[in-house]
Chain A
């Protein structure tokens, strides 16, 4: 059974500092990995999708890497801003059935 872990569960940084969020998974037979952002009381917003054949994906200040062999993905957010405060979730997509398995999330607070 696929298990996805996100460490740390919570993170607090001063504005301007770079954020590093970790995601690990136990079964490397994944199809894609997707990072989401969730604001309190809101739905999930897709940030980045990394296909299994890719090693990284970038969008603006966000960069996500994927190492299937070690079962890890890292989300980097450069020059953090208070507006980046949210919970960040990673999810792996297994080929069979196209089902998502989520990590528990990392709650980020960026202090002005």
Chain B
């Protein structure tokens, strides 16, 4: 099915470990982004990309790294996991702004850092 696919769905990490959250879309969307959702804080933008090879920081980028080598994939790397990074992570994508399409979200990755 067309859409945004995130893996894994659940992950437990120890403090200091690193990992990569995967995100792939098959809709040829130019824009992709990562959000984290925390109780009482809502959804906050971590990093985003307006096209392959182009990334930029969002509201809460510290501790995370991204790259966009292809249109389809936008992985999020946790460099050295901390308990404060316990959260639900969502990847989202959309067409070019001028096409007036909204965003499509993945089903999320629930990360716990112990």
A contacts, CB < 8 Å to B: 31-32, 34, 36, 41-46, 49, 51, 89, 91, 93, 95, 97-105
Contact = CB atoms under 8 A, between A and B. Distances in A.
Contact of B42 (A31, A34, A46, A103): A103
Given A43-B106, A91-B103, A101-B45, 16 more contacts: A32-B100, A36-B105, A41-B110, A43-B90, A43-B107, A44-B90, A49-B101, A91-B43, A93-B103, A97-B48, A98-B94, A98-B97, A99-B33, A99-B45, A100-B33, A102-B43
A98 B45 contact: no
B112 interface: no
Interface of B: 31, 33, 35, 42-43, 45, 48, 50, 56, 58, 90, 92, 94, 97, 100-108, 110
Q: 3 closest A-B pairs (Cβ-Cβ)? A: A49-B102, A43-B107, A44-B105
Given A102-B42, A102-B43, A46 B103 contact: yes
Nearest to B108: A43
B3 to A, nearest CB: 10
Nearest to A95: B97
Nearest to B40: A104
Contacts of A41: 110
Nearest to A101: B45
A89 B1 CA distance: 24
Nearest to B95: A98
A31 B104 contact: no
16 contacts: A36-B105, A42-B108, A43-B108, A44-B90, A44-B92, A44-B105, A46-B104, A46-B105, A49-B100, A49-B101, A51-B100, A93-B102, A97-B48, A97-B56, A99-B45, A99-B48
Given A51-B100, A98-B97, A100-B33, A42 B107 contact: yes
